[in-house]
Amino acid sequence: MKMGRIEKRFINTSHHNAYVTRRAEDLLSYLDKEAGQCVLEVGCGNGAVSKHIARAYGFTVTGIDVDPDQILEAQRQPEDRQKVVFMEADATSLPFPDMAFDIVLSFGVMHHIRNWPVAICEFKRVLKSHGYFVYWDIVYPKFVAKIAGLFPHPYGITTLQALRQSIEKNGFDTIHMRISRVHQVEAVYRKR
């Protein structure tokens, strides 16, 4: 699901870019990193995180988003095109071969994906053995998810229990997980 104009305006601020980049840095500290690793950022928006981690770690990064305006925004600012590529793509049907990436990042995007369990299956498919899935997003209390299930909606309503079940079902081990009081989950998973 694409963001509305107001959300997009907020997401594209330098303040938000700095915040999300700090979150990425914190979570990447749990990974074994090497220059040249291939990274997929799902829901890359304006590309701030993709560009930062390509520079900071020497990663080769592919940033995808379903919103063509966000991809254009990401492409507007020049980067080393051999290190960072941006393209329009859907997380539930990734246009990449099996085991193409060492790391998949998803920061604040899963609640925009109605069928988020399919996206997690796709992340597993495109990750190499022992690759990392880095997650940061909101989860909903069970009663909110139950009420939301009564109405048609374009959002991905994720509960902590459903997230954990999907992670286990897809063969990921939890390396790190923290849940905040405002129902945000940050986690690092590793493919078995």
Question: What is the per-residue pLDDT for 2?
Answer: 67
- Whether 138 and 183 have beta carbons less than 8 Å apart is answered as yes
Instruction: Kindly tell me if the per-residue pLDDT of 177 is higher than 90.
Output: yes
15 confidence band (pLDDT: 50, 70, 90):
confident
Domain of residue 58 covers 5-191
Question: What is the per-residue pLDDT for 9?
Answer: 66
Question: What is the per-residue pLDDT for 81?
Answer: 67
19-28, 73-82, 115-124, 155-164, range with the lowest pLDDT? 73-82
Strands 184-191 and 172-179, sheet pairing: antiparallel
Question: What is the per-residue pLDDT for 154?
Answer: 64
Does pTM top 0.85 for this prediction?
yes
**Whole-number Cα distances in Å, 165 to 57, 69, 142, 159:** 32, 34, 14, 10
Question: What is the per-residue pLDDT for 36?
Answer: 94
122 confidence band (pLDDT: 50, 70, 90):
very high
Instruction: Kindly tell me if the per-residue pLDDT of 190 is higher than 90.
Output: yes
CA-wise closest residue to 36 among 62, 24, 54: 54
Contacts of 161 (CB under 8 A, 6+ apart): 142
Backbone dihedral region for residue 43 (phi beyond 0: left; psi -120 to 50: alpha; all else: beta):
left
As a whole number, mean pLDDT of residues 97-122 equals 95
157 confidence band (pLDDT: 50, 70, 90):
confident
Q: Which two tokens stand for residue 47?
A: 């590309």
The DSSP code sequence of 22-71 is HHHHHHHTTS---TT-EEEEET-TTSHHHHHHHHHH--EEEEEES-HHHH
> Which of helix, strand or coil describes residue 89?
coil
The separation between CA 174 and the C-alpha centre of its own chain, rounded to angstroms, equals: 16
Instruction: Kindly tell me if the per-residue pLDDT of 4 is higher than 70.
Output: no
Question: What is the per-residue pLDDT for 118?
Answer: 97
183 confidence band (pLDDT: 50, 70, 90):
confident
What amino acid is encoded at 93 in this protein? S
181 confidence band (pLDDT: 50, 70, 90):
confident
Number of domains in the chain: 1
Q: What is the pLDDT of residues 43-58, one digit of tens each?
A: 999 999 999 999 999 9
Contacts of 70 (CB under 8 A, 6+ apart): 3, 8, 44, 45, 46
CA-wise closest residue to 139 among 169, 167, 108: 108
CA 161/CA 122 separation, integer angstroms = 20
Instruction: Kindly tell me if the per-residue pLDDT of 85 is higher than 80.
Output: yes
CATH number, residue 49: 3.40.50.150
Q: Which two tokens stand for residue 124?
A: 């597993």
